[in-house]
Amino acid sequence: MDLAVIGAGTAGCALAAALRLRGWSGSITLLEIGRGTGGRTATRRSRRDPSFALNHGAPLFNISANPEPRLLEPLRQGGWIAPFKGAIYSLDGDGRLGAALPAPLSSGALWQGSPHMDGLCRGLLSLAQQNQPTRLMSGTLVRQLEPLTDGKGWRLYGSEGQPLLDCHWLVLSGTLLADPRCQGVFGWSEVPLQRAADQRGDPQLLQASAALAAIKSTASSNLLLSLGEVSAAAWRLQPWSLLQFTPDAQERWGIRRVSLQAMADGRWGVVVESSAAFAERHLQVHGSRSSAAQVLGAAPQPQAEAQVIKALDQALQDALNLSTAGGEGQLMRWGAAFPKEPGLPPKLSLCPDSHIGFCGDAIAGLGFGRVEGALRSAEALAEQLQKVGAEQLHSGINVQPN
Ligand SMILES: Cc1cc2nc3c(=O)[nH]c(=O)nc-3n(C[C@H](O)[C@H](O)[C@H](O)COP(=O)(O)OP(=O)(O)OC[C@H]3O[C@@H](n4cnc5c(N)ncnc54)[C@H](O)[C@@H]3O)c2cc1C
């Protein structure tokens, strides 16, 4: 492979699409733990229930500044994204509805994937595949990185220690392999990026690895409720489709935001995003149906999971005075839902001597911690890669002029 990208969330898919739009004709492979693309903008689906579709991460995204990311226009043209048309309200600590709060997640132009949030990454992947094949290896955890002996590339290893592929250039679009918590949470003996940086001995990569390891994040425990047409009747009468909880309301009910989502067969989804404090208290309890939990081999905890689902369900009913009777609940625990500042300085996002780069919402800059940041960081890295690649044609990268 000329380029391997770890992660097929917004940033990984956007990087592949941005490179193709710039005329990059080298081979690209995206490696992703999940069943498909999307990451934190994925839509939860069910093999047994084809109409089931719930956005279990971001329900929308906002572009807060101009010029907008270049990828937005082809995504709009292809019908992969559409303006977010839902009504946004707030709920205060006394249970009163009010106007939308000026929040970082809802300023500027509001967009959603079409028809569901996973349209965003499906669209980006389709742009990445328009002129050249771009391969997606889903259900694949990259567990270890090893510098090739010529110092100009990488070998990637999977969950069982099996070699996955060799590549000239490597991009990490998530922070998992740099996060020291992987030692405690998954019992890994070392932090994979730190080990690779030590082996490589490149001062810039060592700095990048340390900066990524220092990034902290807030978690979110999400309740995904599916309501039949009858159970959803009162919910559908609500004036809002997205409800933000004020700080007082978050403290009282442990909920940060609620979204109402229509499904194709008349069912409705209610997605409850917990407050950071609630998620912190229940950090050890993950959603057993998440593919990441399955691939990463976390042990199921049915009782603890049922308790968290019950607690969020009860808080929702209390806060809104609406019944969830007849609903089916699932839990999705995002251990790292939002990175905390300062993030990775952009000057460390490409280490040309080591042929490795970084993109994603944890790169400092406009849109940090949001979809906008994931898109912008990917576009910026594509530009840098193209520049460096043009200077290093001999190393196997084939870059055509725009
Ligand atoms: C509950 C929730 C609500 C949100 N709401 C909003 C919102 O309203 N507006 C907004 O703009 N943003 C929102 N966000 C944030 C937004 O979803 C993220 O900023 C954005 O999706 C980040 O994209 P990314 O590609 O940087 O990271 P990710 O989407 O996390 O992608 C990284 C991918 O890499 C994969 N991966 C990581 N390590 C490995 C490995 N070793 N091997 C293989 N694959 C790997 C992961 O599985 C993942 O798919 C929300 C997030 C959450 C969790």
Same structural domain, 158 and 274: no
Q: Relative to the CA of 339, which ligand 1 atom is closest?
A: 19
Nearest CA to 257 out of 59, 95, 43, 94 is that of 59
Same structural domain, 152 and 181: yes
Does 327 map to a domain?
A: yes
Mean pLDDT, rounded, for 291-313: 83
Query: What integer pLDDT is reported at residue 245 of this predicted model?
Result: 98
Q: Of all residues in the chain, what percent are helix, strand and coil, respectively (each to 5)? A: 35, 25, 40
Mean pLDDT, rounded, for 361-370: 98
Same structural domain, 84 and 132: no
Does 59 map to a domain?
A: no
Number of domains the chain contains? 2
Confirm if 140 and 7 have CB atoms less than 8 A apart: no
Residue 398 binned pLDDT confidence (cut-offs 50, 70, 90): very low
Does 244 map to a domain?
A: yes
Same structural domain, 352 and 330: no
pLDDT tens for 118-146 read 999 999 999 999 989 999 999 999 999 99
C-alpha 42 – ligand 1 centre gap (Å):
8
Q: Relative to the CA of 39, which ligand 1 atom is closest?
A: 49
pLDDT tens for 25-42 read 999 999 999 999 999 999
Residue 79 binned pLDDT confidence (cut-offs 50, 70, 90): very high
CA distance 135 to 125: 9
Report the CATH number at residue 293.
Answer: 3.90.660.10
Same structural domain, 241 and 277: yes
Same structural domain, 333 and 363: no
pLDDT tens for 156-212 read 999 999 999 999 999 999 999 999 988 877 789 999 999 999 999 999 999 999 999
Same structural domain, 158 and 229: no
Final residue before a domain boundary, out of 339, 362, 380: 339
Pocket test for ligand 1, best of 37, 194, 286, 371 (most atoms within 8 A of CB): 371
pLDDT over threshold 80, residue 236: yes
pLDDT over threshold 70, residue 393: no
Ligand 1 shell residues, CB under 6 Å:
6-12, 31-34, 39-41, 57-58, 60-62, 105, 140-142, 173-174, 176-177, 220, 222, 273, 292, 334, 337, 360-361, 369-372, 374
Same structural domain, 15 and 162: yes
C-alpha 337 – ligand 1 centre gap (Å):
7
Q: Which domain holds residue 199?
A: 3-42+118-215+340-395
Confirm if 249 and 91 have CB atoms less than 8 A apart: yes
Q: In angstroms, what CA-CA distances link 163 with 5, 154, 195, 232?
A: 15, 11, 17, 49
pLDDT over threshold 70, residue 347: yes
Same structural domain, 380 and 363: yes
Residue 150 binned pLDDT confidence (cut-offs 50, 70, 90): confident
Which residue has the least CA distance to atom 45 on ligand 1?
7
C-alpha 149 – ligand 1 centre gap (Å):
32
Query: What integer pLDDT is reported at residue 18 of this predicted model?
Result: 98
Pocket test for ligand 1, best of 6, 30, 40, 106 (most atoms within 8 A of CB): 40
